[in-house]
Amino acid sequence: MKRDHRGSGGARRGAGRTGGPPRRRAKRAAGARDVALQILLAAESRSAYSDRLLETRLREAGLSSSDSALVTALVQGTLRNRASLDHHLAAFTNGGFERLPAPIRAALRLGAYQIMFLTRVPDSAAVDESVELAKTYGHPGTAGIVNAVLRRFARGDRAPLPDAAADLAGNLAVLHSHPRWLVERWLKHYGAEEATRLLASDNVEPSVSVRANAHRVTPNALAAALRAEGHETSPGPNGGPVLVVERGYVASRSPLFRGGSLSLQDEAESAVVMVLDPKPGERALDLCAAPGGKSSQIAERVAPGGSVVALERHASRARALRENLVHRLRLPGVSVVCGDGRNPPLVRPFDRVLVDAPCTGLGTLRRRADARWRKEERSIAEMAALQGALLDAAGPLTRPGGVLVYSVCSLEPEETDEIVDMFLRAHPEFTRENARPFLPPGFAAEEPVLRAFPHRHGTDGVFAARLRRR
């Protein structure tokens, strides 16, 4: 039996009629679908990433837990499936979909997503709520379009997909809702079968994993404390130092998180620090530190007696980093420095240096729902130039005999192997070391680097290489 999951949007029923004047949304109390539409509009304008918009708008809207969960599902699901939804919507609007006002496109996407993907929402509720949104943000004509198009969806009408035999990239781009340029790139690198699995994995809701603050609690004690908060956990599937928390865990509402007992961290991201392998008493540098998950893990491992410098370019992010590492987690031996990693304001070399470089983030598309629509293929070359400069700057800051680890949350060759190869050619004082002995068993492969895939490991897509200065 379907479950009505309409949230507070149902309170608006009857507030407007087709034929009436547009409403001023600033004077209305926003329901769940209204909040979702506003976030979709902001994400489309690229004013902010959807995950940050969700965090701030949900806090401001004061919605119930169930409505907050509905907003999150609507925003992330609609963004992930945007190409698929637009394919059908374009066919049902006779090619006029892109000419509709942005709020009407968003109302159509929200309604179509609920009908196609959310079994708990009755089709009639999805249609009615989107029509109400169209009345609010548009005029009677656009509300009529929304009503007519979504009723076709509700009847089961769908536009045919591109023929896979004639146009495999076009078929996969619609079916799995990715930019065509990215589908073509992954087909070239991985072949049809593996590329299809990778594309599909980006549309799976990622798990929430946490790592215990070693200064405060053991993993077993953290699991027990989370159970007391009402959340069961399981070990990381690849043997890493994380606990996977069951669905529904919201860190900002957890006393354990607010009290500094844990950090949110993907299992593959935690494996990067294992490749670095910091030891008690050592000095370490995290050259691109924000938001601080890896800095905190390093700080826990260099204690007692060690220290970490967490460098961050942007002042606001450096303040947030200090709040997280020093005040929330209360980690000893941590210094937060604001500066550009390409020209770091540091002189004395370190025992361990991590360059977790800014990247396209193409390994984290399941977690950042709108990122796939923000990236262009030229972004890869732009990021590669920055990554090479950061790694060059990190070389002199690694002491002779010290370890330098380069990592990104992308799997594109230009951002991974090619950066490392270029660095080693320019810096013969460094040599590549085998990362396998340091990796959790689930990540250990034949090659000497960490290369985690969403569809193989159930984690973010992450690359890390371990280098040592002679």
Binding annotation for S-adenosyl-L-methionine: 288-294, 312, 340, 356
Hey, what's the torsion of the CAs at 310, 311, 314, 315, to 10 degrees?
60
Catalytic residue among 409, 411, 439, 462: 409
Write the single-letter amino acid at 220: N
Lookup: tokens for 111: 């309604």
* Start-to-end CA span in the chain (Å): 66
Q: Can you tell me the distance from the alpha carbon of 108 to that of 102, in angstroms, rounded to the nearest whole number?
A: 10
Q: 432 with 420: CB under 8 angstroms? A: yes
Lookup: tokens for 394: 């990190």
Q: Can you tell me the distance from the alpha carbon of 310 to that of 237, in angstroms, rounded to the nearest whole number?
A: 29
List binding-site positions: 288-294, 312, 340, 356
* Peptide linkage before 291 cis (omega within 30 of 0): yes
DSSP string, 409-425: S---GGGTHHHHHHHHH
Active site residue 338: no
Q: 197 with 455: CB under 8 angstroms? A: yes
Nearest of 195, 197, 173 to residue 186 by alpha carbon: 195
CA separation (Å) from 95 to 90, 91, 150, 170, 175? 5, 6, 15, 18, 19
Q: Can you tell me the distance from the alpha carbon of 137 to that of 139, in angstroms, rounded to the nearest whole number?
A: 7
Q: Which residues belong to the active site?
A: 409
